[in-house]
Amino acid sequence: MRITPWLPVLLAAAGGCTPRAADPGAIARTLDSAYAVFSEGYRTADPALVAGLYGDSALYLAPGDSIVRGRSTIETIFAGFLVPYARADSGGPRIRFEIADRRIAASGDLATDVGYFVIDERARGKFIVVWRRGADGAWRMHADGYSGVDVP
């Protein structure tokens, strides 16, 4: 069977059926950079910077609360938490992430992270994030769920 040169064009037009080559190392570095941006958003008490990491219709699953959908609503949640730090001019809390398990789909368009977050080196909790790469190539959080924090 002869494959015609226009076949890849037809497959792409049919909904992106041609797979993108996934570079797990590059994807991991991109996601790690996103966590660095998240941490910077906390440190500078900038809810827009943090919320910018979420997709337009992202899901946010805080402990003991309903599922929230949408970047703008998620930004409002972060503003309620971070803006008092900005007003106090003391800077926001320090948060860091420890990835315990990362899975990147063979398609290169979906990834999950499971791990721990540590706030101000005294509070610790667990999280799971589902990342999705958009049509623009940018990775954004599609779902973010976490546990309450343990304070020693």
In a domain, 6, yes or no: no
In a domain, 123, yes or no: yes
Which range of residues forms the domain containing residue 90?
22-146
The Cα–Cα gap between 107 and 128 comes to: 20
Q: Measured at the alpha carbon of residue 21, what is the angle toward residues 20 and 27, in degrees to the nearest 5? A: 100
Tally of domains within the chain: 1
The Cα–Cα gap between 144 and 128 comes to: 6
In a domain, 15, yes or no: no
What does the pLDDT read at residue 151? 78
pLDDT digits (tens, 9 = 90+) for 88-131: 777 899 999 999 999 999 999 999 999 999 999 999 999 999 99
CATH number for the domain that contains residue 87: 3.10.450.50
Helix axes 24-43, 71-88, angle to 10 degrees: 50
In a domain, 16, yes or no: no
In a domain, 17, yes or no: no
Q: What is the pTM of this model?
A: 0.83
Cα R_g (the chain), whole angstroms = 18
What does the pLDDT read at residue 69? 98
What does the pLDDT read at residue 117? 97
Read off the amino acid at residue 119.
I
